[in-house]
Structure 1
């Protein structure tokens, strides 16, 4: 295959098996991040297009690659067991693409967002035999030794936090899907706050009603709240009075005496004030998120952030002066096509502040982001393995270790998002969300919940409407439906 010429168009011709098509698209996107992908469409073989054909012939799975009408690779997998499950198909297809492109991916055929959870499950299946589990993980998914070690080391860090003995323990997520402005890279469904504050006011009234109703549900089912997370959006867009009302309601209606962690996403410095921080501290919030994303002012301006790097430093000092135990900060690799030197400048500035938690994200341009509309979903591969290794080395030499990890589709460099922390400062809710070993009750618009069933290690999701205006207009119906879903799953 001619690797000097960029592949712009790829046609996938394959059986109409939805799980196969999803897996194939994800892997092709990982190997050819800038190519347009189509399925099962008639085309002229002689056109400048890479055709990847998958077919089942008797007991063989046959994969063929053609370019300019010429067959450039064919591979058959004999004596296959049918039906071929999605995981097996992805393994075959990954190896085919790896041979075709003459390169491998660090995460192999894994395209899901929770590789650490998979490592944990393999450990459980092998009675915590680490050597055997790592070997199984690498062999099953073609994951590199480096990424295997990373996943298993994080699984070891997470184990004491996620294997909660009391199965009636739950976490509660309160959603505030409102922002002062929309960042170009953001794909979350959130609403821009109006200047008069009418939207926030309406939402708060309905949110308080939902909290009141869920407090009765939690009491009736004798549930113990383990962690509480107020996220968004940008929760700090609320006024100090609204934040006080929210926290007062949570304190009155929920028993918070058993909390291991209480998190509030301040997010943006321009919405974070001393009065708000003092209110949060008064109600025993112990973890604050302040997310610069970049410490380069030109990048912040380009992606629609309404603050400067100096604003971040000022608000960080204010947060610490008020007395919060833990601060989490986020940086995103790939914003505004930053050079490695620009990213390392941001990293060093954040390390100098010495927050207890720092999450390094790989930019993922997803559907719904303005950046995707402007540039498409193509990714510019600016960053090498050595670049990501340098990030880890700088953080670890500054006293940070990785404690949780997740991946996103279409991420810059096929990378991952890694949370780092100082010793003893792990973000518990983050680990619980990725491990999926605890029920999470979602309250508010866009707050997806999960009901965990430990007897068979599965969970059911409880969805709610994402659009805030729809939530406000259909509040009673939305809340009724959510409570019915939780009641059904808890009493199954």
Structure 2
């Protein structure tokens, strides 16, 4: 797709608008209008004395559309006003060309809930905020309601954090197999068995170093999340070794939540569950993604629905009283009727949390690299799946508390976490909202430091792959010294009276 920006330089916003209707397309910015071909987007700003006129021209496969919008020269925030006018014109032209309107309107960012919280914090009530979403941003009433409901819960959760709060992410980048849609840096555990003992040893060494830093900086550890990959790819003794290290390295008196992403049901055993329970885990994730056997086979999940039920029952028997389950709407081979059957089977188990993801086309996934990606911009069937799921989860007593969006999801739709009161995944909210510092250990981990009394963010990256993490471990530890330097610098910028 050829993109022309005339009289303006909103390249990032223009590209995101193109993805709303033409996901997965390669966008090439051009200047020669005579060579625009048959697939193009032309976006022109023409400034007058009192108004700027925005014109959008779209063309594809012989069809054309055009639309315009205006914004005042006296707008308080001319950049934002220009983005909104461009969005309105683009959506009008896109709807005329493609026959649908994205339910999130002109919003292209990953955190619509952050905007909702800002509106409420500015003094608007929920009715006024909803009107801004629907009237000014062209968000559907259903999505506006979902966003504002989630914003209430996020505000309550983020209020738990203090300037000295922090969370911990423990990366276990190993899986039994690689799912069709997955883009995470994870290794096939069967091929990587020889790495596991050394990886766990180095991980524990890094955890000890991070724990020493946290104590020195007087950080209050609020949540721990062990993810991957699939942490339960490790043996029970390896898991115990990690849990024992965390207990020895960190001050845990302020800990509110300890999540372990068991993830794949085929990796869960009574011995591992016992180790996780003894290690202090308070929240367990068991993620079927779907309970349709044919769809599971299609996406490369080497387990059956029956294995999920067995794992769930074993977790209950082991004493876990807060279990989250992940589902993905839009998987290859799935239908609205099939997704409904998954809910029919899942809801009687009464999980404390259900996170509903929309399938995303990740460039590094096998789904995309094999040419099997389905860039469905309209996503009508997936929207049916989400709408049905949200209604049924609400009826079951679960409320939305966490929501974010990704690029190239089917229908430009969202990922939403639902939970029973008191079982929300606090870590999920803290990391998405950038509420406080997230300390990370393990291959692929990213430490994200948040200025205690400000908004500055700094990231420290670990090496992505386990073999690189092991070979360059001294560098991993050296990089962690940036955490102390960041906090020392923040203290200097914000001296206490």
TM-score between both structures, scaled by the size of structure 2: 0.89
- Residues 149-298 of structure 1: pairs in structure 2 closer than 5 A: 149-164=145-160, 166-195=162-191, 197-298=193-294
What secondary structure sits across from 2:177 in the alignment?
coil
Q: Distance in 2 between matches of 1:272 and 1:50?
A: 50
Aligned length: 480
Is the 8 Å Cα contact of residues 69 and 89 (structure 2) preserved in structure 1? no
Query: Partners in 2 of 1:196 and 1:366 — Cα distance?
Result: 24
Aligned to 1:26: 16
- Which shows bigger deviation, 161-170 or 208-217? 161-170
Look up the SS of the partner of 1:337 in the other structure.
Answer: coil
| Equivalent position SS for 2:57 | strand
Q: Supply the distance in 1 between the matched residues of 2:463 and 2:324 (Cα, whole angstroms).
A: 28
Give the aligned partner of residue 75 of structure 1: 68
Unaligned runs of 5+ in 1: 1-9
Once the two structures are TM-superposed, the CA of residue 62 in structure 1 deviates from its matched residue by: 4.0
1:435-486 Cα offsets, whole Å, 9 max, x none, are: 2212211122212222223533443333322222221111111221133245
Task: Say if 1:321 and 1:337 are closer, same or farther in 2 by CA, change over 3 A.
Answer: same
Match of 2:122 among 121, 125, 128: 125
- Residue 316 of structure 1 deviates from its aligned partner by 0.4
Instruction: Quickly say closer, same or farther: Cα 1:16–1:429, change in 2 above 3 A.
Output: farther
Equivalence for 2:55: 63
Between the aligned partners of 2:282 and 2:66, the Cα distance in structure 1 is 57
**Compared CA separation, residues 74 and 99, structure 1 to 2 (3 A):** closer
Task: Give the deviation of 1:235 after TM superposition.
Answer: 0.7
Q: For 1:115, which of 103, 112, 115 is the aligned residue?
A: 112
Alignment of 1:381-400 (within 5 A): 381-383=379-381, 385-400=383-398
**Counterparts of 2:74 and 2:187 in 1: how far apart (Å)?**
49
Paired residues of 1:361 and 1:416 also in contact (CA < 8 A): yes
Give the Cα–Cα distance (whole angstroms) in 2 for the partners of residues 165 and 110 of structure 1.
28
Deviation at 1:399, TM superposition (A): 2.1
Note if contact 2:286-2:325 (Cα within 8 Å) is conserved in structure 1: yes
The separation in 1 between residues aligned to 2:224 and 2:384, in whole angstroms, is 37
Shift of the 271–461 alpha-carbon distance from structure 1 to 2, 3 Å rule, reads same
Contact 1:61 1:77 in 2 (8 A): yes
Alpha carbons 1:183, 1:303 under 8 Å: kept: yes
Mapped pair 1:320 → 2:316 = yes
Deviates more, 1:353-362 or 1:29-38: 29-38
Q: How far apart are residue 34 of structure 1 and its match?
A: 6.2
Give the 3 Å change call, closer, same or farther, for CA 365–196 of structure 1 in structure 2.
closer
Structure 1 residue 361, shift from structure 2 partner: 0.6
Confirm or deny: 8 A CA contact 1:460 1:489 kept in the other structure.
Answer: no
Q: Distance in 2 between matches of 1:293 and 1:452?
A: 32
Check conservation: 1:54, 1:61, Cα contact below 8 A: no
| Separation (CA, whole Å) in 2 of partners of 1:17 and 1:321 | 61
Conservation of the 8 A alpha-carbon contact between 1:451 and 1:486? no
**Is 1:54 matched up with 2:43?**
yes
Uncovered stretches (5+) of structure 2, i.e. residues with no partner: 491-497
1:74-107 C-alpha deviation (Å, 9 max, x unpaired): 5363654799876444322221122212443221
Task: Choose from 325, 346, 349 the match for 1:350.
Answer: 346
Please report how far the alpha carbon of residue 72 of structure 1 lies from its aligned counterpart in structure 2 after TM superposition.
Answer: 4.0
Contact 2:54 2:89 (8 Å CA) reproduced: no
Q: Spell out the pairing of 1:97-108 with structure 2 (5 A cutoff).
A: 97-100=90-93, 101-102=95-96, 103-108=100-105
Q: 2: distance between equivalents of 1:387 and 1:276?
A: 34
Q: For residues 29 and 86 of structure 1, do their structure 2 counterparts lie closer, same or farther at Cα, with a shift above 3 Å needed?
A: farther
Contact 2:340–2:388 (Cα < 8 Å) also in 1:
no
Cα deviation for residue 222 of structure 1 reads 0.9
1:4 maps to which residue?
none
Q: CA–CA distance in 2 between the matches of 1:388 and 1:315?
A: 25
Partner of 2:438: 440
1:302-342 deviation line (CA, Å, top 9, x unaligned): 11111000000001000000001211111101111311111
Taking the aligned partners of 2:429 and 2:56, their CA distance within structure 1 comes to 41
Q: Is residue 2:2 matched to residue 1:11?
A: yes
Query: Which residue of 2 is the match for residue 7 of structure 1?
Result: none
Q: Which moved more, 1:32-41 or 1:156-165?
A: 32-41
SS in 1 for 2:285: strand
Against the structure 1 CA distance between its residues 70 and 177, is the aligned structure 2 distance closer, same or farther, given a 3 Å change threshold? closer
